Structure 1
Amino acid sequence: MDIGTSVITPSESAEDTLPSMFWGLDPIYGVFAKLYIKDILELKKSQPVPVDDGTGVISCLWWKKQRAMENVRLASSPFGLNVLEQLNRINQLENSNSQLELGDVVQVRGRLRDYRDQREINSTSVSKVVDPVFTAQIARMLELPYLYRNFYDKTFQIQMDSSDPNQQGEPTLSLQRKIKQFLTQNGVKNFYQQELEAIDSLVCIAEQNCVSLCLHHPSQTSQDPPSSACVSKQIHELFQQAVCALQEEGIIFQKVAAHTELYLVTDAEKELHKVTRKIVQDDSTRPKYVDKGCPFHHIVSCVRHSYSAGVSEAAVQRVLDRLECDSEIVSTMDRHYTVS
């Protein structure tokens, strides 16, 4: 069940929460979170702002909207695509998924509210999960502990002392942005890290930040200027951090995971795009994927087998997003893809 995170967790008190003007700084705020029903029921309302997974029972309010297809006027497609037929197919699929019976497993997305002193979910979407061998439920129960441990249980803290650039991560972020801009403007397809460290414009950005870092180092006095060895070491480490951040973002990837190997620019690696699209095209016609499309982790596994074992999930996700933007594939549901 996906629930909009607009309330605080049971472990926090309303008095300890951040002022509402800072909520948007938390990357978790405003996204749909997958939670146990038990925790949903125990969430505390924030003072400033007046699923059956076995952990509890909660009411879900769902207003079904009927589409009047007879009033829809569609222009003819030059490619012979019958848009009205496709819309009717989508409506039939939605209607079949909305025919619920007692005991069905459902996926619910919505926002929490209290009505007559009872916690309920104002649902924006409800879909039936066809899960005869409990694959989806097992995957969910494996996913939730990871989300709780790595995201929900971590209290968001605002660093009030903005004078410390190391705490804010500004040096890495500024160099990361500059590298990304350099790769795009120059049409770079691949590179080694030492090649980036030879680009004057990038080194200038890194050097400015590293001098500041050395001056803030506890062993550095205000009377002594930072040594060249200190600055050089900081520049190299800053480039490493920026490159790692670009990998985590999916902007670049390595075919072989090693610090000395070649980095490839994801958007420029056309072979990776071609391989990914063919996997989606071929496997989405298989009986097990014909209705929902290919799941993301299946695509990642096939890409690593057909293209390279070192491709990161972030890089594959970026390729899928780009293919979808180019209307070569479509996402049928959460991280499932098929050809358009």
Structure 2
Amino acid sequence: MQAEPCDQEEPPSVLWGLDPIFSAHARLYVRDILQMKESCQVPGIYFYRFHPIFTVDVLGTVVYRRERDDFFCYGVDDGTGVINCLCWKDEQWKQQNEHVKSAPRSLASSHGGFNPVEQLKKLQQAQRSRSQLEIGDVLRVRGPVQTSVQGQREIMASTYYKVEDPVMAVQISWMLELPQLYRKFYDRCFQMQESDLTDSAQSAPALLGRASGLLKDFLREKAVERFRPYDLLQKLVPLIPDIPPEPSTQQEPTPQSSSKQLHQLLRETLQLLQDEGLVFRKVISQDPVYQVTELDKELHRVTRDIIREDSKREKYAEKGCHVLHVLSAVRQRYCPNVSKVVIEVVLKILECNSEIISTTDSHYIVL
């Protein structure tokens, strides 16, 4: 079995520290933690959409528990997946127990009924109750991500504790906060200042990442539903050093090599956006027009109607419609050029809007 090739879009390691997410505990879904690719430059560093990830912050329910001499192994499920969390035992417990046993009994009487030994025991019991969890408890854990010898992704906890959440207020707040973090930070490419760029940062993968970030921000801010490639050409001009930001007829014409570089960058960026399912071409023609997946309401409606209608059929009544079935139906009813990744983006949007729900990783029904 051959090893997988390194990700060519991985930014140089000298630039990782410029991304603030690298120094933070990234609050990611367990599904994304399990799917992150490990760096081919530095083992133990993982990447989510060009962001280098070292430590994560996870909140979920304990679904299995194993105890060893030095640590607990908890399986934490946040609704998107299950990940192993290695939580080390506190070595101070033994020292505290020995200290309590050796404490003089006369110490309690000297404080007029207040027994510091008993209070210390209660404090230790409270500490243990927050550290020893059972199946069904809610656990919050922070720590670096690692891959075990067996190839399983897990979290080496640096901090963990049991969350008392009887009315699910903490979990609801967490579920509402994570989509905002993804939208504002994790799903956006980190934009570096020109003064921070080095020669390695001007490599093709880094330049492509910056270009895709610029176009994503523009499409999102302007709420663009469809566009032609030349509509976005001017947005990429600042990324090419040899092209003046505001060319005029009185200036010398742009060098042919820079113009080719700009058009090549635009083609590669649009291809990257298509590969991510963010845009697609409804009609293949010499005059290309791209649809923005997030704002194509007709595609959303057709997808939702297909799931609603076919979920009533006996074949799909139990689990719902499989993503490949939805893809085939959308191609027949709406557009034959829609890809699977585009449908997956649409399904994610509909699910976030509570218009559909997923019964498995690949099956969906209408609420």
TM-score with structure 2 length normalisation?
Answer: 0.45
From the CA coordinates, give the structure whose radius of gyration is larger.
2
TM-score with structure 1 length normalisation?
Answer: 0.49
